[in-house]
Amino acid sequence: MSLLRIRGFGHRYGARRALAPMDLTLERGESLAVLGPSGCGKSTLLQATAGLLEIGEGTIERGWQNLGMVFQEPRLLAWRSALDNIALGLKARGVRRRERRAAATALGTRLGLSAADLALYPAALSGGMRSRVALARALAIEPDLLLLDEPFAALDIGLRHELEQWLLRECLRLGCTMLMITHSPREALRLADRLLVLGGQPGRPLLALQPALRAT
């Protein structure tokens, strides 16, 4: 079974069309970048995939067990340490405290977060550190599908490239499938092996390329 199978899915908010009916299939381990101008329906597609929208037209079949999500803003819990934020999904899955702290520490360490960083609360972390914590939180549950909505758009170029490389490595390690929104064609080529460009008429696919070159 495919990890994701979208058939004829389209969406309106009230009378306004946000996305024209479209098909999309993702196999395990693939990575797809969705590009296109603001307002073309990229977030709508991502939210529908995540199950956060009521599906009016078409069908979405979901073949994954664990979903990880990363947004442009880190959306951390302010009253929990960085470590506890990373371990949140593990806690929800009933992983014992000692094990989830060990897993979160190992992941944070790979991402360049020291034990001292991990003890801090989000308000005391820099923007870059918060982004690392948000990425680590999404990966901690070892997702088989990772949805990313412009996760690096607010970061400086050096950090972006560092986190992109880390993300690629971790996804390859986990065999995780990636569906990512980005406004950067270059970032898309670095991270994805397929590109979907939305735009033109409201919510119409302009272009679907596969396989694209994965820059390494």
**Residues near ligand ADP (CB under 6 A):** 13, 18, 36, 38-44, 157-158, 161, 184, 186-187
CB of 45 to ligand ADP, least distance (A): 7
CB of 63 to ligand ADP, least distance (A): 23
Report the residue number, 103 or 188, with the smaller CB distance to ligand ADP: 188
Q: Are 62 and 37 in contact (CB under 8 A)?
A: no
Q: Are 136 and 169 in contact (CB under 8 A)?
A: no
Report the residue number, 16 or 98, with the smaller CB distance to ligand ADP: 16
- Classify the C-alpha dihedral 164-100-74-109 as positive or negative: negative
CB of 177 to ligand ADP, least distance (A): 20
CB of 197 to ligand ADP, least distance (A): 11
Report the residue number, 11 or 100, with the smaller CB distance to ligand ADP: 11
Report the residue number, 13 or 79, with the smaller CB distance to ligand ADP: 13
Distance of CA 114 to the CA centre of its chain: 24
Backbone angles phi, psi at 52, to 5 degrees: -95, 0
Report the residue number, 12 or 62, with the smaller CB distance to ligand ADP: 12
The CA distances from residue 5 to 10, 51, 186, in Å, are 13, 13, 26
CB of 44 to ligand ADP, least distance (A): 3
| Cis peptide bond prior to 74, omega within 30° of 0 | no
Report the residue number, 153 or 174, with the smaller CB distance to ligand ADP: 153
- CA-angle at 106, arms to 50 and 188, nearest 5°: 45
CB of 158 to ligand ADP, least distance (A): 5
Q: In the chain, where does DSSP find H-type helix?
A: 42-50, 82-92, 97-110, 115-118, 127-140, 157-174, 185-191
